[in-house]
Structure 1
């Protein structure tokens, strides 16, 4: 009763903050993201233990994370008729809690591993709904590639759906690392109280439709220009919540300025950030090396990533 799952984190393109059903992780509106590779989370689960335990990169997960892990495990146990505890171990090939979508890959990999370890065979939609119980964004990591989360009720209909994208192979995402710790759950609680939240909510459906059409049409510039604009919209609502939480750092602003400067020079480069100070400079394969060099000239570490595939079961266990 042991299995291992692997999933890629996500870059939000049209993002969400705020949950209209916090107990079930259902947001106020749809969202669109793209999985990033070769960054990945790998998770092994084994049932048959006295109690649940969870290690992430060799350390015990914090209390909030443990509660989210056991929520997923309990859903699997209920479905499989199991009563035993589970041993869970997970490793990331990238930094977590800095704005790189680690929660998405964490709970997508957990959903794949836990269901396989319990002897369950779930559809991709069912896996997406299960992963969402750990983190809303994990519902989009399950199908991989470009995916849209449908913020539907009842909750089992709130799942990630793959979007066809004819430009997948040419896209590169240059990560500018700004290692400032953050916790996304804080933003979900803060953002709906912003005076700009209702305005964002009113506009986001048109943005979603534009982004979906751009992705399906293979329009790189339009897709990632929308992601850049949406990053600024998200920042405006987050930093105007009750606590005035500004998660960008001076380095983040420099990355934003760099994207605009390179674009003025004729390069296809667009800034994007999720909840955190780390940012992506989205570009195409022929220009990725030059963009990465420009990021490192700012004194920041960089990674060049491509579009990642769906969450899947793998054979190399962690224990």
Structure 2
């Protein structure tokens, strides 16, 4: 099966799963039907060394899916749709040009926009600890440690940073007593033959 076909198949199970099929930094193409919404690689996993420090606020499964949250009527939904492409263009440009400030600024902006729409639908994924971490990221940045946050439909915070600031960011977030999982862009999906256990 082609990479495109695998991405389409993965998307049928979970929308965001299609992004894990191609290599590295990927873009999920919108599409209008089953066969034209899939992900493509923008740059390989080694192209830009960005770390994703996932700060675990809550490990339980979310009660309401983000899809259900977006389906409710919301006066902010169409305003968000109008800005999504602009945000995406800046994030893509940030990746291609290795401009971390551009990428981070628009990833953070888009995150806040998405959660604003969901909150207006009555979906509050953020916990008090989520806001605490967001404010700490802003504080770190104000003090010259470049990092940005993004948050999926849930309370856990993804703190994006470059290698130069990774240990400093981890140290500061750890002082707040949160578990941190470290991640970075991975290679394309592949069949593995060895056991994990």
Match of 1:267 among 141, 145, 156: 145
Match of 1:254 among 109, 112, 132: 132
Q: CA deviation at 1:184?
A: 7.8
d(CA) in 2 for partners of 1:168, 1:273 = 23
Q: Which structure carries more helix by proportion?
A: 2
1:256-314: CA deviation from partner (whole Å, max 9, x where unpaired): 00110000111111011111111011111121111111111111111222221111100
Q: Secondary structure at the match of 1:158?
A: coil
Match of 1:145 among 12, 20, 24: 24
Residues 113-124 of structure 1 correspond to what in structure 2 (within 5 A)? 122-124=1-3
Match of 1:227 among 104, 107, 132: 107
Residues 25 and 45 in structure 2, CA contact (< 8 A), matched pair in contact too: no
Q: Which residue is 1:291 aligned to?
A: 169
Structure 1 residues 269 and 145, CA, compared in 2 at 3 Å: closer, same or farther?
same
Residues 200 and 233 in structure 1, CA contact (< 8 A), matched pair in contact too: yes
d(CA) in 1 for partners of 2:114, 2:174 = 26
Q: CA deviation at 1:210?
A: 1.7
**Does residue 216 of the first structure (1) align with residue 96 of the second (2)?**
yes
Q: Which residue is 2:35 aligned to?
A: 156
1:179-234: CA deviation from partner (whole Å, max 9, x where unpaired): 15344863212224222111101111111222222211111111111111111101
- TM superposition outliers: structure 1 runs of 4+ over 3 Å: 165-169, 182-185
Residues 142 and 160 in structure 1, CA contact (< 8 A), matched pair in contact too: yes
Residues 140 and 147 in structure 1, CA contact (< 8 A), matched pair in contact too: yes
Unaligned 5+ segments in structure 2 are none
Q: Secondary structure at the match of 2:191?
A: strand
> What is the alpha-carbon root mean square deviation over aligned residues?
2.0
Q: Which residue is 2:51 aligned to?
A: 172
**Does residue 279 of the first structure (1) align with residue 157 of the second (2)?**
yes
d(CA) in 2 for partners of 1:293, 1:201 = 37
Structure 1 residues 245 and 260, CA, compared in 2 at 3 Å: closer, same or farther?
same
Q: Which residue is 1:118 aligned to?
A: none
d(CA) in 1 for partners of 2:115, 2:92 = 22
Residues 119-138 of structure 1 correspond to what in structure 2 (within 5 A)? 122-138=1-17
Report the TM-score when normalising by structure 2.
Answer: 0.92
Q: CA deviation at 1:169?
A: 4.4
Larger radius of gyration: 1
Residues 292 and 304 in structure 1, CA contact (< 8 A), matched pair in contact too: no
Unaligned 5+ segments in structure 1 are 1-121
Structure 1 residues 176 and 285, CA, compared in 2 at 3 Å: closer, same or farther?
same
Q: Which residue is 1:59 aligned to?
A: none
